[in-house]
Structures are given as structure tokens and as C-alpha cells.
Amino acid sequence: MVPWWCRGALAALVLLGPEIAADRPEDIEGSSVESTFDFSQVSFAQPVADDDFEDAFYESSQSPEFVRAEEPDPSDGSCCSVQDETALRACANKTSPIGACNDPPLVMVVSHAPRSIHYAAATAAMNAMWSADRGYPFVLDEREPAQWISSRVEVIPHWLRRCRAEGIEWMLWLDSDAFLLAQEDNFNQVRKAIRKYSDSNTQIMLTREVDSFLDPRAPWDDGNVGVMLLRCSEWTLSLIERVRRECLAEQKQDEDTLERLLYTEEYEAQGMLKRMPPQALNSMGHNQIFGPNASLQAVIHLNDMPFEIRNHTIYAAFRAHCDLPPGSQVNFTVLKAAFDSSTFSLASQDFREAGTSRWAFYMARRLKEQKRFQETEDLLRWAVDGLRTEIGEQKV
């Protein structure tokens, strides 16, 4: 059976020829060598040696190593000078604490990441600095969950209660691999989304996925619960506690239980659930960095990405955030380059070990979107060659 991740790519390969002929720029052969990579120089039909698969056109995808020596907390309200992972987490929790404002803010931002999730130090620091710039409190909850299947719903009730006690109306929940984007000072997409899409009945707000990527067999899976706006209400608290009980009783992931409840109880029809348009708050699940409105969304969530891609992209985003002049928007070119280079690194590793790669097909889509058509064609052809070796010509 052909793996699910390559079925679309095989179809794309069949259809790619006419599109390349129609869209390829006239001077493609005169493009600078720095902008292309000649995949035709390597046969991917068999695993290849490291020296045969070097990329001269992406920056290194090696993750930065933190200095493990303790450093003092910065005094300027920024976490950018902190190098130690433990100190970075501590800085995140001190940068925008609860109760710092005289009047209750609109939103409290909460994330959860035990210390075993290393990249979460950087996402927490970015989220804390973003929150401080807008007067929102930020909390990084570091507790180890009793069971990973219920990690969200073990943590959320405590902070909903705290949120209510502080008189805060909304809680923005962020998974550990989600980070808020630095944007212009006068641009607050979180506040904009709340004001535009909620009313007095709204209790939960999720970002929809684009229709073409929905599975008709799972209609409840239309919203990313890794990034949620939750009203700090008794209704929301009761729902989350119900999810915790049911997911533990059924031994299912809390996100699956929550998604099914939101669907089967018809909360959207009743007005308690609001599904916002794609990218109104969160990135698209299949296209986190490259979506059409990526620079306007508030959050990038690298869900379902391997550790290597998440780790490298998150630390690149952290460095880009810290390189910004105050009140400026993050440089998306940096994020895209980091995402591409880590995807390439993962694909090359798979090729060396197995002869084909899910991430090669994923990267081919990225190259096609960048109108790097010859590379797209070459990469898909050699990836399919590797697939023939792996599963056999007849199945391909």
C-alpha cells in the first residue's frame, strides 16, 4: 500500500510537467546557482552517502546549544540576553507576571511545557515578551503531567480558576510548540480576533482548517485545540473537567475527546463554540509558515512536525524576535529559511537511511510554491525512484 504522505505527491508529479512548462520563467537556466540545488546530481534510488547530499544554499540546520551555566535574569524586561535554558524559562515566568496591571487585562496567556521539552524555553520567552508588550500576563506551567494523554486538561482548570479570580475575561492557551509572532506595536491580532468573532455567548474560539485538508470521515477534526481562546467561565471549566474525566476513562488523547465533544454536543450551533476562519488566530495545520496571510496571524503552531523542524525553526524565530527593533514585525524570510533548511536536513537523513522520504515530498511542495520548478521536478522524480525501491514498482 502506498504511504498516505506520498499519494498526493505522486499525483502532483504526473501533473507537474504541464504546469512547469506554463509557469517556469524564461530565464530559469540563468538563475544564480545560490538559488537552486541540482538534485539531478544525486540518485535517490538507494541511500546515499553524507558527502553526496550536501546543501550549499541553506544555513546549517544544527540546533543551537545552550550554555548551561546560570546567568542572571535580565533587568530590561527582555529574555534575549539569557542563554541558559533554565534561566530562560525563569525569565519567561518573570517577564509579564499575573497582577502586574491595576486593571484586569483582556487576556491571560498560558502554556505548558515540562523541562523535558527543550525548545519550549524559547517559545515561552517569545510568548512572554509578546505578552509584556501588550500588557497581558503570561504563565509557563512546568508541571509533569500524571499522564501525557491528559496533559492539557490537567493544567487548564487551575489557570481558568486563577483567571476568574483575577477578573480576566479570556485565556489564550498555547501548546509548547506554539509561539506568538512579533508584530507592529499597534497591531494586536489576538484582541482583534476576540472583538471580531466572539459575542456574549462565546466560550471557546478555535481556528478552522482549510476545507481541502479536512477529512470527511472525521468532521469533528476542524480546529486546532493546541491554540485556543477560552472564556474564563464556569461553563468552560466544567467542560474541561468533563474532558479530563472522559479521556482518562477511555484512555484517549484529551484533544481527541475535546474535539469530539465540541462536535457531538453541537456547541457551535448553540453559540458556545466559534470556529474562526483559517489564519484568523493560528497558522494553518498543513502550512504553518507559508500560508497566504502568515504575517497577519497571531500564532505559529508547529504541530505534527518532527522535533528537528520544530527545534530549529523555533530557535530561529527566537533569534529573529530578539534582532528586531522595538515595535517591529518579525522577519518571515528568516522563519521560512529555517523551516526549509530543517526540512531539507530531515529529508536528506531519510534518503541516506531509507532511500526515500516523506519530507522530500513535503519539501517539493515548498519548492514549487517558490517557483523553483526544476528542483521540484527533480526532487519528486528521485523521491519516486526511492519509493519504487522501497515498496516495489507495481505498488507505485
pTM of this prediction? 0.76
Distance from C-alpha of 181 to C-alpha of 190, rounded to nearest angstrom? 11
Of 1-15, 185-199, 336-350, the poorest mean pLDDT is in: 1-15
Helix (H, G, I), strand (E, B) or coil at 259: helix
Question: What pLDDT digit, counting tens, does each position of 274-310 carry?
Answer: 999 888 888 876 667 766 777 678 899 998 888 888 9
For residue 67, the model assigns a pLDDT of 37
For residue 214, the model assigns a pLDDT of 55
Pick the closest to residue 168 from 207, 135, 129 (CA basis).
135
Please check whether residue 309 is in contact with residue 320, taking contact to mean a CB–CB distance below 8 angstroms: no
Question: What pLDDT digit, counting tens, does each position of 133-157 carry?
Answer: 899 999 999 999 888 899 999 999 9
Q: What's the distance, CA 325 to chain centroid?
A: 24
Question: What pLDDT digit, counting tens, does each position of 32-48 carry?
Answer: 222 334 444 443 333 33
Backbone angles phi, psi at 117, to 5 degrees: -95, 95
Please check whether residue 395 is in contact with residue 1, taking contact to mean a CB–CB distance below 8 angstroms: yes
Question: What pLDDT digit, counting tens, does each position of 187-227 carry?
Answer: 788 999 999 999 999 999 999 876 555 555 655 566 789 99
pLDDT band at 389 (very low <50, low <70, confident <90, very high): low
Instruction: Label residues 180-195 b or e (16+ Cβ within 10 Å = b).
Output: bbbbeeeebbbbebbe
142 CB contacts (<8 Å, ≥6 apart)? 89, 112, 113, 114, 115
The top-scoring range by mean pLDDT among 165-179, 207-221, 366-380 is: 165-179
Please check whether residue 377 is in contact with residue 37, taking contact to mean a CB–CB distance below 8 angstroms: no
pLDDT band at 383 (very low <50, low <70, confident <90, very high): confident
What the block records as the C-alpha cell of 99 is 497582577
Pick the closest to residue 176 from 222, 141, 132 (CA basis).
141
Mean pLDDT to the nearest integer, 348-371? 74
Helix (H, G, I), strand (E, B) or coil at 207: strand
User: What percent of the chain has pLDDT above 90?
Assistant: 40
Superfamily holding 85-331: Spore Coat Polysaccharide Biosynthesis Protein SpsA; Chain A (3.90.550.10)
pLDDT band at 161 (very low <50, low <70, confident <90, very high): very high
The top-scoring range by mean pLDDT among 69-78, 319-328, 351-360 is: 319-328
Distance from C-alpha of 130 to C-alpha of 180, rounded to nearest angstrom? 7
**Res 338 pLDDT > 50:** yes
Distance from C-alpha of 240 to C-alpha of 258, rounded to nearest angstrom? 8
Backbone angles phi, psi at 235, to 5 degrees: -60, -50
User: What percent of the chain has pLDDT above 70?
Assistant: 70
Question: What pLDDT digit, counting tens, does each position of 258-274 carry?
Answer: 999 999 999 999 999 99
**Res 19 pLDDT > 60:** no
For residue 345, the model assigns a pLDDT of 81
Please check whether residue 350 is in contact with residue 358, taking contact to mean a CB–CB distance below 8 angstroms: yes
Residue extents of the structural domains in the chain: 4-62+338-391, 85-331
